Amino acid sequence: MSTFEPPAETLADVVLVDYGLGNLRSATRGLERAGASVEITDDPDAFAAADGVVLPGVGAFREGMENAGPLREALTDHADAGRPLFGICLGMQMLLTSSEEADHEGEGEVTGLDLVPGTNVRFDVDRKVPHMGWNELEVERDHPLVEGVDGEYAYFVHSYYAEPDDPDAVVATADYGVDFPAVVANEAGNVFGTQFHPEKSGETGLRILRNFVEYCAER
């Protein structure tokens, strides 16, 4: 039986960015259960009216940045204004500056949003890639997003992981032959992402989403 109690009222208005690569249905359900009113849109004008923006993502870095290209300025303006921006899986990787994925696929360099400076690198471990399944989270430093989830398990599906330029950008890690960032955040703390899928991570994921919604409400 679930121990997660949804709030009795809406806590925050959240925009879920629709750029063609997101797991929108599951993310919407999770956010709504966590207390958010969710608008799915590709209209950048909606960002300014929202308490927070979620950038989901499943797929390749190049395709993600090409699809989200028309929204790049609106996303960076939102972040630069100190407003909450939450990247999930590919969406988290898109917060960084670049990715080895494009080079690995012979597609050349692709520029990310550069909101958390760094690059995404391919797993070079003696284990099956992609890393797929449940893994334990180890919180490395305080951030509102990870309150109450140290030592809990989340669901991952990825072949690349973030390497931020600033080690302090790493909020939580997981181990897959190498300790890799499971949660990252910018210096100001308002831009953050999870490499795992909170909407697929049971009670742990709901806690993460609730933390995000409460953070948006407090801002």
Give the pLDDT confidence of 155-209 residue by residue, as tens digits: 999 999 999 999 999 999 999 999 999 999 999 999 999 999 999 999 999 999 9
13-33 tens-digit pLDDT:
999 999 998 779 999 999 999
Percent of the chain whose predicted confidence (pLDDT) is above 70: 93
**Mean pLDDT computed over 104-110:** 65
105 is catalytic: no
78 is catalytic: no
Q: How confident is the model at residue 5 (pLDDT cuts 50, 70, 90)?
A: low
Element housing 48 (H / E) = helix 45-49
Segment among 8-22, 32-46, 140-154, 188-202 with least mean pLDDT: 8-22
Give yes or no for residue 1 having a pLDDT over 50.
no
Of the candidates 78, 131, 158, 197, the residue annotated as catalytic is 197
Token pair, residue 23, equals 């797991």
Beta strands 153-158 and 160-164 are: unpaired
Of the candidates 158, 199, 214, 216, the residue annotated as catalytic is 199
Amino acid at 34: A
Rounded to whole angstroms, how far apart are CA atoms 185 and 214?
A: 17
89 is catalytic: yes
**pLDDT computed for residue 23 by the predictor:** 79
**pLDDT computed for residue 107 by the predictor:** 57
Which of 213, 194, 211 has its CA nearest to residue 153?
194
**Mean pLDDT computed over 115-129:** 95
The sign one gets for the Cα dihedral 215, 51, 89, 98 is: negative
**Mean pLDDT computed over 69-95:** 96
Of the candidates 89, 131, 152, 158, the residue annotated as catalytic is 89
Give yes or no for residue 8 having a pLDDT over 70.
no
Longest dimension (CA), the chain: 50
Mean pLDDT of all residues in the chain? Answer: 93
Amino acid at 68: A
Contacts of 25 (CB under 8 A, 6+ apart): none
Percent of the chain whose predicted confidence (pLDDT) is above 90: 88
Token pair, residue 116, equals 């958390």
**pLDDT computed for residue 212 by the predictor:** 98
